[in-house]
Amino acid sequence: MDAVGWITSAVAVYAAVVSTLVGYLQWRATKPNVRVSMNLCIIHPPVYGKNPLVTVSAGNGGGHPVTVTSAGWSLPNGMACIIPIPKSPQPFPHTIPPGNGHQIFVSTDDVQDSLVSEGLTGRVKIQPFYRDQVGRTHQGSMLVWDTRKRTFSPRNPIRRLFPKRVRVGGAPA
């Protein structure tokens, strides 16, 4: 193969790589990107019952609208707690345009009851989610709910950062 053939092959390979990269970036920019979170909040005056409330929120960071049909949280035993009729100004199904969000409100008593009814007590890991119209489940970060305190536990308790000292004999200091 002469020099012109090598240059032509190199340009063809370069063009193929660049075109594949551009196609991937376009696909990534248009695919659904729903971010889900779960937090405590207080609404004043209390519109949705007694405070504090738990919010499950979804934000659409993708390039196309996403129609959400349900929300809730996953339990460690494999069950899911779905909120059928959420306390929200935006009922299900709801279309979330790009750059916008959706939020539901749940009483802390409802979260507590969903865990205790499944026999889960103490510090329980739960994961918020939203489901969309085409069947995708968008999940948020894992959180820890403390059934004794009826609230979220700290993510990084100090005892994890600084474990108990152990004496040479094996007993705690």
First to last CA, the chain: 77
Adjacent-strand bridge partners of 55: 39, 105
Residue 9 has pLDDT above 50, yes or no: yes
Adjacent-strand bridge partners of 143: 126
Chain segment 131-170, per-residue pLDDT in tens:
999 999 999 999 999 988 888 876 544 444 444 555 555 5
pLDDT score, position 154: 63
**Type of residue numbered 122:** G
Instruction: Quickly count: other Cβ atoms within 10 Å of residue 6's Cβ.
Output: 10
pLDDT, average across residues 91-100: 92
Q: Which residues contact 6 (CB under 8 A, 6 or more apart)?
A: none
Q: Please provide the average confidence, as pLDDT, over all residues in the chain.
A: 84
Q: Which residues contact 110 (CB under 8 A, 6 or more apart)?
A: 54
Strands 143-146, 151-152: pairing is antiparallel
* Residue 66 confidence class, pLDDT cut points 50, 70, 90: very high
CA–CA distance, 91 with 85 (Å, rounded to integer): 8
**Type of residue numbered 126:** I
Q: What's the pTM?
A: 0.73
